[in-house]
Amino acid sequence: MPIFLDAQEKWEYFLENKIKNYEKLRNFDYGPTNESSVSKLSPYISHRVLLEYELLKEVKKKYQSQKINKFIEEIYWRIYWKGWMENRPKVWCNFILEKNYDYDFETYEKTINGNSELDFLNSWVNELKTHNYLHNHTRMWFASTWIFNLGLPWQLGASFFFKHLYDGDAASNLLSWRWVAGLQTKGKQYLFSPANLRKFSNNRFNVEKINTKQIFLEETNQIALDDEIYKSNMEPKSENLILFENDLHVPTLKKILGNYKSVFIILLGNAQRKIKLSKAVLNFKQQIVFEFINQFDNVTQLDPLKLQQTLVDINQLDIIYPGVGENNDFVNSFQKSHNKEIFKLVRNQDLFSWKFAKKGFFKFKENIPKINQYVF
């Protein structure tokens, strides 16, 4: 089934049939072959095939009940993670540049190949590689086991997720691993009990004891806030536009793309990436790109290796801002190397929401009514 159609059908089914029970059942992972208690929309939201703010509008339009507030809050968690990262892009830079890990290589190799001594972890590794998805609660169990049971660096775990997850966006994945590790909320690590694992896996995993090590991680340097992103807006400034695969919401982009003489969409290959992606993830992204292009007359996919050759006579470019991560790193490097003037177009809803994401989520949550008022 086409990805864009599948995304819309999954969203409509969830909105109609599952959202009312989301709060009660969302922590249960019944396994990859059983009906899920969650929406499984994250692969589409992370590429903005489905746009967060449009989902919120549809939920608010259909339901007034307090019972659906937990799902709304989870959507806002994604917005918050993005904003937190945009306010501190150095977190991503530090993650990408860090290479000096001290760890047991044999343990690492066994783990990523599903051959550890922990059957439940092996099951999750195989599920991740097979389905390119894990339930959010299982991701927390996975990360906690990786860090506090096996003693492996959280950065390698985050990279392993990036490699295999369809929804491995920079903010949600990276900051979730930091949260489990106790770096995101200072001193608050995520550990789990056998009873928790047994209950929320629906008795699929039954162990007597979860062995954890006394590991306390600290940030070596204070990371300052950065307000550079707030100098951007959504106003076109040139005749040429570049898009990336992680912001392809057709209904809102249709209003913009017609303003441009030429529109190019770039999908980075592993040669241009610091974190190499699996073949399945790259294929998923390529399929999204194909389907997007087919809905427009003036959009062309451009090989990143041919970018300078194609744009040799073009000095000014707009880009739909792809957010902190690999795509943005690529743009910054290209701009620096070829002396191009590149204007980053940032959605107004993002800019408004992100300014409230400079501290913890509960501070952000206090401002959700303001964001709602702006978005709706």
Per-block mean pLDDT, blocks of 10 residues, the chain (376 long): 96 95 95 91 98 96 86 96 98 92 95 97 98 98 98 97 97 97 91 97 94 87 90 95 97 93 97 97 98 95 94 93 98 92 96 97 95 91
Residue ranges of the chain assigned to CATH 1.25.40: 1-87+348-376
Residue ranges of the chain assigned to CATH 3.40.50: 234-345
> Measured between alpha carbons, how far apart are the two ends of the chain, in Å?
32
281 SS3 class = helix
Over its C-alpha atoms, the chain yields an Rg (Å, rounded) of: 21
Q: Are 85 and 323 in contact (CB under 8 A)?
A: yes
156-193 residues labelled b (16+ CB within 10 A) or e (exposed): bbbbbbbbbbbbbbbbbbbbbbbbbbbbbeeeebbbbe
At the second CATH level, the architecture of 234-345 is 3-Layer(aba) Sandwich (3.40)
Separation between Cα atoms, residue 264 and residue 299, nearest integer Å:
6
Residue 262: both structure tokens together: 């030429």
> What pLDDT does 222 receive?
78
Separation between Cα atoms, residue 34 and residue 20, nearest integer Å:
19
Q: Which CATH class for the 101-200 domain?
A: mainly alpha
Strands (E) in the chain, as ranges, are 240-244, 262-266, 299-301, 316-320, 341-345
On the CB side of 321, CA atoms within 13 Å amount to 22
pTM, rounded to two decimals: 0.96
Which of 226, 271, 190 is closest to 93 using CA atoms? 226
> What pLDDT does 185 receive?
87
Looking at 66-220, list the stretches that DSSP marks H as alpha helix, in order from N- to C-terminal side: 69-87, 90-97, 105-112, 119-131, 136-144, 154-164, 170-181, 194-200
> What pLDDT does 35 receive?
86
Residue ranges of the chain assigned to CATH 1.10.579.10: 101-200
Residue 70's φ and ψ, nearest 5 degrees, are -65, -40
- Angstrom CA distances, 167 to 188, 235, 282, 328, stand at 25, 28, 12, 17
Check whether domain 1-87+348-376 has CATH 2.60.40, yes or no: no
